[in-house]
Structure 1
């Protein structure tokens, strides 16, 4: 949605612009910085920020990643194959065309009538996602239809054999195997039958070709062919063998003409291709999309039609008319039930080939000539150009700056209008969200708003583009409107709001408070307060055991999932720590709305749950909270981190738990979410940025800022350095790979926690009452030399700049908007210091002097009731 349309759809933004515009101009000097590119690149610049030269753009703007407008073009040609002329012409809107040519192939050879095929095993018949009955037996390999296939039924148990018997002897120069890209036979032998024994005619190893010709040393006369497969491309991952056709001849395949272009980063929207002309006969093109080159094959890395029947067979199709066409890829068929395209895609790389599915004939043919004038994308997500950033961040560490703005761009890719054709096809479409701005979980998939994801993506949005906060409200309100009779709140619209997750109603409570806290939307809190009461006082008590702990399995919840569908039941630290957080957040909403009894009851219950967690789930031997009270001993990142951020853990337990995570989960690509593999194989090698976010917060808040920064650089630096670069992955698996291979979303909003971690914790800005009526600034600088930034509020921008000048030396400037007041905490470096506010001494050594109620706590001097306006706080060693 263009920004002017977003403002029209969100009246709050117009009010905010009016309230905040003057303050924005007044903060020009504070919101700019001049840092040499060389120094910034090393991340070692220790100079305090200075004002930029007059007329120059603020330094932070150079980190912004969004395209300049909604028409996005590729930046380079990665490769091309086959008969292609002038592939570089695809990069511009005019000035030449790229021509793809392919001659019509000879008809595929056929086996004689009466030929039969048998196999060592075959997958049982089933219905596809579209309800069409499908068979996978051996006869599919000789039926002449390349859209059907033999599929073995052993899941990586080898060998798999396919035996073809002909009614009378034939002479074969060789054979050709046609397979699927997700089941290509890699290692296999071809044998022929002489009437009494089998003879090896050919051996193939390391094959990766979907169509593989296998010539024999000399022609063989035979009545039978046996193919024995001992490995396929993905055999280690449990993939079936698939053979679509075996042809009784050596069929040489001309290279399919195709070009792969790179858009430079993950983008999202509707692909657009301008065709100048084409030959007669409906030459087809197939478009394949991928966020990484690794998973770009003859099909996309993922497409929604894969989950709804596979109508496109992994690519989007178009039959080019002779006169050319200006084609925008929209979901649907071009001709009856043929030539399917899936519409919107999230991707970095686009492959366009002159090809067509056999099932699309005659509406599209895999040969002819096609001239392509240009390729582009109609960008549909929030366009976060520099002028749209209401909040920003900058520091002396270039890597932290890059990761903050990469998170902003990743999150922006997920802010989009809910459209029936673009969302998860597994019954996620809903009339109550159509046409509304939402925060999807990912750019590529699932493209459905999940409430748990909002726990990270919501703050990332509030701190950057608060004109789009309706994207969060719309999701929270819609899920509350679909609350079940027993109080449970669905996690998303998927499965007609019936996906059973145990933890996500807790995140609905937590995210509701976050939304109210950042936006001040009291009306939302009042409207959905009954749902809040019902989920906390009806549903969660129904799954609480006699010790006051949530226990998954009670009340029929044994098959409920969670954020990662983890196979755990019973008393889980993560669920109970999040419960404590939700209860305390709900108490804040109750207090806001004038329900003191509810607030007191929930706070008391939160305390009881916290005590039960410490009694029953603390593992003193490990110095960490157990993942589960039953089964193998393990300790999770999720439970331990949230136990700290929710206040369950005292200072000693918090320090011990973080030490345990450092010792057991540290990886080159982040911190794993579990300390051993007893939950599932490889869990100690899996990194979720979603659960890493509370660990980062916990480290900052417990005085371990440098360990948080180290974790940030390992996690986000790894993603930045690996394809697709920049955007933040849904999950990282063993050896730093995408954790679910090609299915992994490589631009996922729940992974953007580095942004709120740096603004809320490193810079130190947090709201303490709804709408930033009150706020705190409490920097956790670690070894970072300086930082500055701006946070949008309903009252106008709140700007902060600080310089970490040395032990006991710290300078902080804060400018608060009208109608607000705040508390500032400045670090002492563990030394006796004097503190001056606006040139007046308010603290010296161990004693307050003057206003602001100055006091010393946990290595900080705290100053209360700073009024709106600009204040300079200077910390120096005491005389």
Structure 2
């Protein structure tokens, strides 16, 4: 494949800042193509951070896939069918440069590299028709507002676009641009993109999905005024270069100029995980004075006529979530800078001023090296500020807040905080237009209120919103995606600004968002329409890794059937260019999650290429930590030891599935590298001791960030054994060493982490030497899975799993349930496994879930309860694996599955049928039905030729086995 030296193109960008915050930049190249249409026309490109490619006005693709900057992936498209011989042809690229690090991107600098080859010359060289250089033209897209806020700490920015400010014809030939020549940065191979690598997975799908109904129509009046403030980058500017937590100590101040004495509501609609007291004209109000349930805070305040100084103490820790600040008042008011009229106010300043930071820092390992200095004398003295003039006493501590850190408006708060609203009947024409994509229908409009529609897509989706409308110029469309509503109550996406704003130009227009979003429901609020807006269509372009649902499952329990389908749908939505935890809140590749998700993917889709890509990405985090990061590629330098151990186990499981020895051989040195570093963290007791994020489950188990955590020690044993198996035949000496290490660590666990009093494994030993008094089912499950106990202790652990004591911490999340189900399967407790699925996943179905939740609900089932954060999270999709592996009973016995066992576990079911993909192609179909009264069973198995299938019926059952060979 082409290397960096094979590129004829150069990296280009525009003049100005190398890594601008939230810049949307357009590039064009028009060239004349002489002669006939070429037999081959291949256009390859990549960009920092994301691009959308057009050829002669047609969207060709978007990318690149997430990757490390030092191994940046490029894409290659066949565009010959779009080129016109004997005419001008235009390549156009929209590049979105984040300018901040996220959980799926490390900040580099703005850049585009692209070249179009029309086959090869007579001398065998590629015939380059166009390559990025100084002849390309560029301009910042004037329609996109660079001050749009961050979606969350995991994501980049929301989207605010004014269609009146830009000509969509820029992607077409004949567009008369007066743009500047692009600036050449340098050739392929320069920093930070030192190596360009070809995309290693297929292009993602884009399948149009229409809403199934208009859920509601309301008139709404939003809060009067609101903005989003980026406190993290404001107070710790260098934090744009990474995604670690930042801490800071300081204040924000702003002047509210009231037209008369009045009451106003100060609303912190989403506190960005930072909330402190607030003062109005020198009177301070603590948390007890605010109404609302966190993260919402509302304060009723008296404003005097004229200027009122608001000061907010924003001291705290921020990962990058926006701070949503809003005001509502019946009387007219202005929001102005307390420095108004002074030279230091600045030309590009927002109305806010910052006081501080009096202290700041970065947290890189979940444990602050020190506490924030809240005793700084000027920080304490600033509590006395009551008037704008008082700011003069604080000299250099007071600075105007650059407008780039403050949005022009907060779409999220405008959508969720509506002081006045009234429900309306849904017009039938509107219902038909939206759902059936029929004749366009008008959205009802009102002179003194906005119109809000809630559209239900019928299931969770992930991709790119698109709509076509006819509107008067200046009509505003606010879109807000969320996941759950029931009986009139809506669960807001606090912590995720899942919104966008589109300002219409005159007439009919279509817009396709370049920002990926996850949602089930879409709120569409029409504001300021001079003429009623007409909707032609609203769609979600469902985008995911291209897989077919080869797996199937059906049984005599309809609830289990629904759970299986929900698990498969969830996994598909969380297959992007890697596995991701959830398509809405994060879209992050969490390394440990992917181990369980891979097993589900094998059984539902049979695809292993996405798994291979995920596993190969992980060692790229070596420059951040020798222990490998828990999410990659990411600007957050974070390690969860168990996630690394699960990665090592997943490497072996991929080899066991597809039998690809070349993968095993190439990944082995990376597995060895990190496990050798983990081994160095054993203490004088021979136990693994780590300061860090020592996570396994969200339940209240004792897993301190500093100490000996039992479940981590146990999973390290399992990882060492997996690594040894991976090394067999490649590095036999190290394989033997690892088996010896695993046995020594197992012995140390039994010597130091077993309680004779409770006859169970303790959760941990704290840093001060104190042995935990907490006992959890999580630790006992892991002990059994990792073969830690033997003899009487093994019998005791089995007893605990079969009859969990009430005073032990119970399984707390669907993620932990995966390991619990593995243990139950190993125990042969298949009825217990199905009962647990029915109980825990059944309550998701009861709440109209179409995808698996991140968590089980922790409170009562009252209507307004917070059931879970994410309503689509693939770490919870375990039933998609277990129902195929055990209820159907299909499991591979050797790498590549040349030998397979079909061993159905009937539990309380009467019949089951389905299919499991075979890694070599085709599938294994299984259908069984049991007659308990007669003690007989019929089993039908269809399998590919060349696969040795053994069928093992349940004990005590006489089975009639029907075998079919395919091929």
Question: Which category describes the TM-score, using the shorter chain as reference length?
Answer: 0.5 to 0.7
Matches within 5 A, 1:97-116: none
State the alpha-carbon separation in 1 of the partners of residues 672 and 630 from structure 2.
Answer: 17
What residue in structure 2 maps to residue 286 of structure 1? 478
State the alpha-carbon separation in 2 of the partners of residues 561 and 818 from structure 1.
Answer: 46
Matches within 5 A, 1:742-761: 744-761=869-886
Residue from 563, 570, 574 that aligns with 2:711: 574
What residue in structure 1 maps to residue 723 of structure 2? 586
What residue in structure 1 maps to residue 782 of structure 2? 642
Matches within 5 A, 1:413-562: 413-417=573-577, 438-466=578-606, 468-484=607-623, 487-496=626-635, 498-536=637-675, 538-552=676-690, 558-562=691-695
Q: Which runs of 5+ in 2 are unaligned?
A: 1-51, 53-60, 66-204, 226-230, 284-288, 306-324, 332-385, 387-409, 414-418, 422-447
Matches within 5 A, 1:127-146: 137=252, 139-142=254-257
What residue in structure 2 maps to residue 727 of structure 1? 851
Question: Relative to 1, partners in 2 of residues 1:540 and 1:184: Cα closer, same or farther, differing over 3 Å?
Answer: closer
What residue in structure 1 maps to residue 23 of structure 2? none
What residue in structure 2 maps to residue 766 of structure 1? 891
What residue in structure 1 maps to residue 452 of structure 2? 258
Deviation of the 1:318 alpha carbon: 0.4
State the alpha-carbon separation in 2 of the partners of residues 154 and 264 from structure 1.
Answer: 30
Check whether the contact 1:75–1:262 (CA below 8 A) recurs between aligned residues: yes
Deviation of the 1:485 alpha carbon: 9.1
State the alpha-carbon separation in 2 of the partners of residues 182 and 140 from structure 1.
Answer: 25
Question: Relative to 1, partners in 2 of residues 1:70 and 1:255: Cα closer, same or farther, differing over 3 Å?
Answer: same
Residue from 926, 941, 955 that aligns with 1:828: 955
Give 1 or 2: higher strand fraction.
2
Find the residue that maps to 2:891 and give its secondary structure: strand
State the alpha-carbon separation in 2 of the partners of residues 739 and 665 from structure 1.
Answer: 32
What residue in structure 1 maps to residue 433 of structure 2? none
- Per-residue Cα deviation, 1:546-593 (whole angstroms, up to 9, x for no partner): 3433222xxxxx1344356853432222112212221222222222x4
Normalising by the residue count of structure 2, what TM-score does the alignment of the two structures yield?
Answer: 0.55
Task: Please tell me whether residue 625 in structure 1 is matched to residue 761 in structure 2.
Answer: yes
State the alpha-carbon separation in 2 of the partners of residues 74 and 279 from structure 1.
Answer: 24
What residue in structure 1 maps to residue 353 of structure 2? none
- Per-residue Cα deviation, 1:670-713 (whole angstroms, up to 9, x for no partner): xxxx944xxxxxxx6x8311111111121132122211111111
Check whether the contact 2:574–2:583 (CA below 8 A) recurs between aligned residues: yes
- Per-residue Cα deviation, 1:417-456 (whole angstroms, up to 9, x for no partner): 3xxxxxxxxxxxxxxxxxxxx2222211321222201121
What residue in structure 1 maps to residue 946 of structure 2? 819
State the alpha-carbon separation in 2 of the partners of residues 699 and 743 from structure 1.
Answer: 25
Question: Relative to 1, partners in 2 of residues 1:743 and 1:391: Cα closer, same or farther, differing over 3 Å?
Answer: closer
State the alpha-carbon separation in 2 of the partners of residues 620 and 463 from structure 1.
Answer: 41
Question: Relative to 1, partners in 2 of residues 1:595 and 1:134: Cα closer, same or farther, differing over 3 Å?
Answer: closer
What residue in structure 2 maps to residue 344 of structure 1? 516
State the alpha-carbon separation in 1 of the partners of residues 520 and 624 from structure 2.
Answer: 43
Deviation of the 1:498 alpha carbon: 2.6
State the alpha-carbon separation in 2 of the partners of residues 740 and 574 from structure 1.
Answer: 32
State the alpha-carbon separation in 2 of the partners of residues 159 and 439 from structure 1.
Answer: 40
Residue from 550, 563, 582 that aligns with 1:390: 550
Deviation of the 1:411 alpha carbon: 0.2
Residue from 807, 819, 830 that aligns with 1:705: 830
Matches within 5 A, 1:103-252: 126=235, 137=252, 139-142=254-257, 162-163=280-281
Residue from 921, 924, 927 that aligns with 1:801: 927
Residue from 472, 488, 501 that aligns with 1:317: 501
Normalising by the residue count of structure 1, what TM-score does the alignment of the two structures yield?
Answer: 0.60
Check whether the contact 1:583–1:603 (CA below 8 A) recurs between aligned residues: yes
Residue from 467, 478, 481 that aligns with 1:273: 467
Question: Relative to 1, partners in 2 of residues 1:154 and 1:408: Cα closer, same or farther, differing over 3 Å?
Answer: closer
Question: Relative to 1, partners in 2 of residues 1:329 and 1:188: Cα closer, same or farther, differing over 3 Å?
Answer: same
State the alpha-carbon separation in 2 of the partners of residues 623 and 574 from structure 1.
Answer: 16
Question: Relative to 1, partners in 2 of residues 1:607 and 1:811: Cα closer, same or farther, differing over 3 Å?
Answer: farther
State the alpha-carbon separation in 2 of the partners of residues 810 and 152 from structure 1.
Answer: 58
State the alpha-carbon separation in 2 of the partners of residues 464 and 533 from structure 1.
Answer: 31
Deviation of the 1:393 alpha carbon: 1.9
Check whether the contact 1:283–1:369 (CA below 8 A) recurs between aligned residues: no
What residue in structure 1 maps to residue 911 of structure 2? 786
State the alpha-carbon separation in 2 of the partners of residues 759 and 153 from structure 1.
Answer: 44
State the alpha-carbon separation in 1 of the partners of residues 734 and 572 from structure 2.
Answer: 37
Find the residue that maps to 1:543 and give its secondary structure: coil
Task: Please tell me whether residue 374 in structure 1 is matched to residue 568 in structure 2.
Answer: no
State the alpha-carbon separation in 1 of the partners of residues 274 and 240 from structure 2.
Answer: 27
- Per-residue Cα deviation, 1:849-878 (whole angstroms, up to 9, x for no partner): xxxxxxxxxxxxxxxxxx9959xxxxxxxx
- Per-residue Cα deviation, 1:165-206 (whole angstroms, up to 9, x for no partner): 9xxxxxxxxxxx99999765568586999xxxxxxxxxxxxx
State the alpha-carbon separation in 2 of the partners of residues 134 and 369 from structure 1.
Answer: 48
Deviation of the 1:659 alpha carbon: 5.4
State the alpha-carbon separation in 2 of the partners of residues 776 and 124 from structure 1.
Answer: 56
Question: Relative to 1, partners in 2 of residues 1:161 and 1:732: Cα closer, same or farther, differing over 3 Å?
Answer: farther
Question: Relative to 1, partners in 2 of residues 1:504 and 1:496: Cα closer, same or farther, differing over 3 Å?
Answer: same
Question: Relative to 1, partners in 2 of residues 1:628 and 1:571: Cα closer, same or farther, differing over 3 Å?
Answer: same
Q: What is the RMSD computed on CA atoms of the aligned residues?
A: 4.9
Matches within 5 A, 1:77-92: 77-82=214-219
Q: Which runs of 5+ in 1 are unaligned?
A: 10-67, 84-101, 109-121, 166-176, 194-208, 216-224, 226-241, 246-250, 307-313, 331-342, 356-364, 418-437, 553-557, 667-673, 677-683, 839-866, 871-879
Matches within 5 A, 1:7-86: 70-82=207-219
How many residue pairs were aligned?
Answer: 608
Deviation of the 1:753 alpha carbon: 0.9
Check whether the contact 2:477–2:502 (CA below 8 A) recurs between aligned residues: yes
What residue in structure 1 maps to residue 526 of structure 2? 354
State the alpha-carbon separation in 1 of the partners of residues 836 and 599 from structure 2.
Answer: 20
Question: Relative to 1, partners in 2 of residues 1:327 and 1:389: Cα closer, same or farther, differing over 3 Å?
Answer: same
What residue in structure 2 maps to residue 847 of structure 1? none
State the alpha-carbon separation in 1 of the partners of residues 730 and 478 from structure 2.
Answer: 60
What residue in structure 2 maps to residue 600 of structure 1? 736
State the alpha-carbon separation in 2 of the partners of residues 471 and 610 from structure 1.
Answer: 33
Deviation of the 1:600 alpha carbon: 2.8
Question: Relative to 1, partners in 2 of residues 1:700 and 1:692: Cα closer, same or farther, differing over 3 Å?
Answer: same
State the alpha-carbon separation in 2 of the partners of residues 382 and 501 from structure 1.
Answer: 26
State the alpha-carbon separation in 2 of the partners of residues 151 and 302 from structure 1.
Answer: 9
Find the residue that maps to 1:629 and give its secondary structure: strand
What residue in structure 2 maps to residue 874 of structure 1? none
Find the residue that maps to 2:674 and give its secondary structure: helix
What residue in structure 2 maps to residue 115 of structure 1? none
State the alpha-carbon separation in 1 of the partners of residues 562 and 271 from structure 2.
Answer: 47
State the alpha-carbon separation in 2 of the partners of residues 526 and 155 from structure 1.
Answer: 44
